[in-house]
Amino acid sequence: MKTFNYHSAKDVKEASKLASSNSAFLAGGMTTIPSIKLGLATYKDIINIKNIKSLSGIKASSKTLKIGATTKHVEVANSKDVKKAIPSLAALAEGIGDPQVRNRGTIGGSIANNDPSADYPSACIALNAVIHTNSRKIEAEKFFKGMFETALKSGEIIEAIEFSIPEKSNYQKYPNPASRYAVVGVYVAKHKGEVNVAVTGAKSCVYNDKDLAKALSKNFSSSVIDNVKISSSGMNSDIHASAEYRANMIRVFAKKAVEAC
Amino acid sequence: MSKISLEVNGKKITKEVPDHTLLSVFLREILNLTGTHVGCDTSQCGACVVHVDGKSIKSCTAFAADLNGSKITTIEGIAQNGKMHPMQEAFKKLHGLQCGFCTPGMVMSAIDLLQNNKKPSDTEIRDWLEGNICRCTGYQNIVAAVKEAASKM
């Protein structure tokens, strides 16, 4: 492993100041550390942001649920506020990786990494999340740009993720048997006046399936899903599943999610 | 280099370590606590599980510098006055191991489970041990050992 200079920032301002084009912020490190170990990433500076208290915690209001960037998966999974406001989000957190990953990994880290198979990006899209950074607020639809790519700029730090509390929601996934990443994951959320159907694991980046969303907005019933065309074009095909399999799983999980709502 | 002060198995330790030192390397190569095993070194197998401030983590996927001020417990730190921890007793009694390579991680992970859930079902035990891989036992006796320990703790 290539070495780096380790820093521990006491506040967001200091962390942002230490950042450069050759640095990474370190929260749980559940992707950053393996990437460094495997030689997939090298950095001159690693900036620990776990000691910045303002970045952690869960706040519920009547319309939204705001989760600090360094809040761990285990905290989201066990939070009474999350279970009450958006139970599907607590269930999603409970299904990430394994207990040791959930004890370290953070929501902000997951979103900043934007792994095409990660769970949290689908929650952001389905729940109309707003990503609060140290310089602006970004809508989830504009945040996830492509494979491992987000709208974040150098030195920009996610401070919190604010989710809209839906009327109903449910997340279904087929976890990879080894990593528990989603081979395919579908997050259905029914808001007042609209439905979102966020899909992860199927393409190079999370997306809202507009056709499914439109059909379910008119009639929120699993029976309408059979009439929606789901093309496998552009979908991932690998040793875990073919593109056609993934397309079919989206239909299966969308139905299951609607029925579980 | 980073100067770190932490507590390992109740003993206060201050060391200067290269910034990229993994916790697993710190424990095994600097403190000679080789009970923590490194299997895959890619945070999948769970042989390296230790407790940091009471919670189980994979020591191959944490930097020692990042754990400044923490309390760490390894497999060497759970026996009390020469008497095995109830989890260790149960693994021994019920043959919860064959080659023993995964056992330190299994034991540390299972102790954390019982901290969260005093009477776990078979399914809950299997779910919790998702991050610990055993290539010998088929898990049957491991699950039985965790249940036995739960009845004793």
CA proximity to B60, closest of B5, B104, B2? B104
Q: B90 and B25: one domain?
A: no
φ, ψ of residue A187 in degrees (nearest 5): -115, 115
Pairing of β B71-73 and β B55-58: unpaired
Distance CA A107, CA A158 (A): 10
| Average pLDDT value for residue range A212-231 | 97
Give the tens place of pLDDT for each residue, A95-130. 999 999 999 999 999 999 999 999 999 999 999 999
CATH of the domain at B100: 1.10.150.120
pLDDT band at A139 (very low <50, low <70, confident <90, very high): very high
Give the tens place of pLDDT for each residue, B26-45. 999 999 999 999 999 999 99
pLDDT score, position A242: 98
Residues 173-212 of A with CB under 8 A from B: 178-180
Which residue, B77, B104, B129, sits at the end of a domain? Answer: B77
pLDDT score, position B76: 98
Question: Domain A5-164 is in which class?
Answer: alpha beta
Q: B21 and B65: one domain?
A: yes
B134: containing domain: 86-152
Separation in Å, CA B72 to CA A7, A8, A28, B68, B129: 21, 20, 17, 10, 20
pLDDT band at B83 (very low <50, low <70, confident <90, very high): very high
Give the tens place of pLDDT for each residue, A6-48. 999 999 999 999 999 999 999 999 999 999 999 999 999 999 9
pLDDT score, position A1: 86
A52-59 long-range contacts (CB < 8 A, ≥24 apart) are A52/A9, A52/A10, A52/A11, A52/A12, A52/A15, A54/A11, A54/A12, A54/A159, A55/A12, A55/A108, A55/A157, A55/A159, A55/A160, A58/A82
Average pLDDT, chain B: 97
Q: Do A101 and B68 touch (CB under 8 A)?
A: no
Q: B7 and B63: one domain?
A: yes
* Cβ(A104)–Cβ(B62) below 8 Å: yes
pLDDT score, position A178: 83
Which residue, B77, B100, B125, sits at the end of a domain? Answer: B77
Q: B54 and B90: one domain?
A: no
Distance CA A154, CA A16 (A): 9
Q: What are the beta bridge partners of residue A185?
A: A173, A200
Distance CA B144, CA A132 (A): 47
pLDDT score, position B84: 97
Q: Do B20 and A36 touch (CB under 8 A)?
A: yes
In chain B, what percentage of residues exceed pLDDT 70? Answer: 100
Is A23 in a helix, a strand, or coil?
strand
Q: Is A4 on the interface with B (CB under 8 A)?
A: yes
Neighbour tally for B127: CB within 10 Å:
15
pLDDT band at B102 (very low <50, low <70, confident <90, very high): very high
Which residue, B77, B109, B140, sits at the end of a domain? Answer: B77
Q: Do A6 and B56 touch (CB under 8 A)?
A: no
pLDDT score, position A59: 98
* Cβ(B88)–Cβ(B56) below 8 Å: no
Pairing of β A149-150 and β A144-146: antiparallel
Distance CA B148, CA B90 (A): 6
pLDDT score, position A177: 86
Distance CA A194, CA A214 (A): 8
| Average pLDDT value for residue range A234-240 | 95
* Cβ(A119)–Cβ(A110) below 8 Å: yes
Q: B56 and B98: one domain?
A: no
Q: B144 and B97: one domain?
A: yes
Q: Do A99 and B63 touch (CB under 8 A)?
A: no
CATH of the domain at B73: 3.10.20.30
Considering its fold, how many domains does chain B have in total? Answer: 2
Average pLDDT, chain A: 97
Q: B17 and B59: one domain?
A: yes
pLDDT band at A179 (very low <50, low <70, confident <90, very high): confident
DSSP symbol at A183: E
Asked whether residue B16 carries a pLDDT value surpassing 90, the answer given is yes
What's the gap between Cα A30 and its chain centre?
A: 14
Map out the domains of chain A as residue ranges. Answer: 5-164, 184-260
Give the tens place of pLDDT for each residue, B114-138. 999 999 999 999 999 999 999 999 9
Q: Is A40 on the interface with B (CB under 8 A)?
A: no
Q: What residues in A contact B19, CB-CB < 8 Å?
A: 3-6, 46
